[in-house]
Amino acid sequence: MLEGLRQAAGRDGAAAVRLGDDALAPEELLRAASAVAGGIAGAPAVAVHATPTMDTVIVVVAGLLANVPVVPVPPDAGPMERDHILRDSAPALMLAAKGALEDPGALGVPVVPVDDVAGAETSFPGPEPGSTALVLYTSGTTGRPKGVRISHGAITANLGALAEAWSWTEEDTLVHGLPLFHVHGLILGVLGAFHTGSALVHTGRPSPRAYAAAQGTVYFGVPTVWSRVRDDPESARALRGARLLVSGSAPLRPALFDDVRALTGHALLNRYGMTETLVTLSGRAGEDQTPGWVGTALPGVETRLVAEDGALLPHNGSALGELEVRGPSLFSEYTNAPEATAASMTADGWFRTGDLAIVGPGGAHRIMGRASTDFIKTGGFKVSAAEVEDALLAHPAVREAAVVGAPDDDLGEQIHAYVVADAVAADELVNFVATELSVHKRPRQVNFVPELPKNRLGKVVKGELGRR
């Protein structure tokens, strides 16, 4: 997966890798990472304080070179989350910039400055495809985060498929400001550039002005980023010279899709994936994008829809079932959780995503939400929370919406909506949904809130609704 970076290191005038104010030429980055690799070789795993800095990138590349699994630790993780990650993954040490951690002794793991572990440049044989490259912890929207072990082979296969789907080459300049401890920012947003040999500009924070100033050809963002771009029309119009704008990690609403296209001239390319699967579905560069849909299966990936009784459902654009996937980019296992690993897979090797989906006759997929929180059974009907959320968002006063099922003795579950809105009554929103959709899909209760609880990637944490 570093082949593109190595090739760039051999080219005169190859663009530097930039993170904030720091920049290294490809050969300088490889040299620094090789020295760190010599210092960590043989370790069972190393953690990295995953700030959006060059130090983090050097450590990740060093781990890839030395065939040592790297565990990115979110820099804003609280003590409980950080302790869980470090205990669960058991790294030999944690690498961080000097002075980055106020009380490194409280972590229970030796904390070593990145500069201090570096030694002489060292070369290593290439890793086995099945060996673990990264241990990424899930977003934690449902329970304690799990450590997902991702192999070198899975990452390489996925990046190759994305390069094909997005026509991503060494001629591109990738721009983003996403965190470096999840798939989107780290695997796609850093290793993707190193795989293809494209230039990389990480803006530190994904602000509209920073995106506009970077003058890239490919931009990555979560819907929250694209919402902020939309709200800064001048910066949005500066992206008209780009080739591709990609959205992922959270649902992309049709209204935001339309607004961004009107300002930038680009239809946001949507894609779908999970930590356990990497990216499995995506639109294609140069093809029409349909708001609300996340494209077709990437090369090598298979998908199927399964009903509650285990029956396979047709791909007819209306049948709703749980999405299962298989292919070369699946994770190896959850760390220290063999029962959870086994439960996530079917006997014939398909991963249970836990997401509800519809698949059209041409293979396009629409993700309708999580089976555990977004599939509401009310009065004998099955209702997609995502469909009700889209209807609420179509009202001009509504800025954000989340819908959940609440226990009800009569209906089984009631549809409850949590809404960020301006000067609108609950009854008006209930009647609006009943007009836009079937009457049984209307919310029985509308709760107005100042904001929706979200994780770092902009996904609504529905388990926290009603607690604030």
pLDDT at residue 48, rounded to an integer? 97
* Average pLDDT over every residue of 435-454: 91
Give 352's DSSP letter. E
Give residue-wise pLDDT tens across range 263-304.
999 999 999 999 999 999 999 999 999 988 999 999 999 999
- Enter the pTM of the model: 0.85
Give residue-wise pLDDT tens across range 215-250.
999 999 998 899 999 999 999 999 999 999 999 988
Q: Which residue has the higher pLDDT, 397 or 125?
A: 397
Give 460's DSSP letter. B
pLDDT at residue 251, rounded to an integer? 81
Percent pLDDT > 90 in the chain is 73
CA distance 312 to 321: 9
* Average pLDDT over every residue of 452-465: 81
Amino acid identity at 240 = R
Give residue-wise pLDDT tens across range 27-82.
999 999 999 999 999 999 999 999 999 999 999 999 999 999 999 999 988 788 88
Of the pLDDT bands very low, low, confident and very high (cuts 50, 70, 90), residue 458 is confident
Beta strands 445-448 and 412-421 are: parallel
CA distance 306 to 313: 6
What domains lie within the chain, and their CATH numbers? 19-126 (3.40.50.980), 189-370 (3.40.50.12780), 375-464 (3.30.300.30)
Mean pLDDT of the chain: 91
Amino acid identity at 376 = I
CA distance 278 to 156: 11
**Do residues 88 and 47 make contact, with C-beta atoms less than 8 angstroms apart?**
no
CA distance 355 to 430: 26
Given a cut of 80, is residue 164 above it in pLDDT? Answer: yes
CA distance 385 to 405: 8
Neighbours of 338 (CB within 10 A): 9
Which residue from 287, 283, 281 is spatially nearest to 301, judged by alpha carbons?
Answer: 281
223 φ/ψ sector (left φ>0, alpha ψ -120 to 50, else beta): alpha
CA distance 439 to 51: 48
pLDDT at residue 464, rounded to an integer? 84
